[in-house]
Amino acid sequence: MNSFTIHGLSEQPSTSCWTSAHGAFLTRHGQIFRRAIEVLGKVELAQRWMINPALGLGNHTPCTLLWHHESYVQVWDFLYRLEYDVYT
């Protein structure tokens, strides 16, 4: 029989070792995720939406578009259009 022992919990890495691009990604991800919860109504739906391709985003997943400001704005706009049923 296999057994294991927990020796301790690892700590979160210091934010000082993150690049500015990674920090910006995390900020954008948090903002979009909170907005997706508001628009979609449930955490589970927002989680699923973040990792599935969206037709309105050129079949890209929302989370992969958050590395650059321009594509972040596209995701934010897409959530707005979802919320108000505005498709152009």
Those residues whose C-beta lies under 8 Å from the C-beta of residue 33, and which sit 6 or more positions away, are: 46, 47, 50
**Total domains in the fold of the chain:** 1
pLDDT 10s digits, 17-28: 778 889 999 999
Domain coverage including residue 78: 19-84
pLDDT 10s digits, 34-60: 999 999 999 999 999 999 999 999 999
What pLDDT, on the 0 to 100 scale, is given for residue 86? 84
Domain membership flag for residue 54 = yes
The Cα 62–Cα 55 span in angstroms is 11
Domain membership flag for residue 10 = no
